[in-house]
Amino acid sequence: MCELRRSGAGVRLGEWLVEPGAIEAQAEAIVAWCRQALAGSRRPWGIDAFDLAIAVGQGSRRPFSASFHKLSPADCYDEDGLSYRLAAFLESALADARTPLMLAVALFSWGDAAHAALPDGA
């Protein structure tokens, strides 16, 4: 599984330009993107967990990053779930921003990786 993860199996990437002051809207946009990505993910034996890594940066400014592990699709719908956690991260990452910042997100689907690890025809 580690080799599959390193090779990109189950990984989806997204990028956004984030305006200062648009924190909650951006958190919701990321969660909507996660929902869409997960809708197309495989879930062998009910494996629906995913990890999310996020980085925000601009030019010479030191990038901020965070990782969220062992999330479930339900976290994309809970009021105090992923959206809340992403908004808290973005609040600190964008605290001093005066210009738009680049945001990169990587989602890793454990179900897609497990499916890729299955022998052909399984």
Computed on alpha carbons and rounded to an integer, the radius of gyration of the chain in Å comes to 15
Residue-range domain boundaries for the chain? 2-117
The per-residue pLDDT for range 65-112, each reduced to its tens digit, is 999 999 999 999 998 899 999 999 999 888 888 888 899 999 999 999
**pLDDT at position 85, please?**
96
Instruction: Answer with the residue of higher pLDDT: 46 or 60.
Output: 46
pLDDT at 1: 67
DSSP code for 94: T
Number of C-beta neighbours around residue 50 at 10 A: 27
pLDDT for 48: 95
- pLDDT at position 112, please? 93
Task: Please report the pLDDT score of residue 21 as a whole number.
Answer: 82
**CATH code, 2-117:** 3.30.1490
**Are 121 and 13 a contacting pair, CB within 8 Å?**
no
Residue percentage of the chain with pLDDT more than 70: 91
How far is the first Cα of the chain from the last one, in angstroms, to the nearest whole number?
16
Residue 87 near residue 27 (C-beta atoms within 8 A): yes
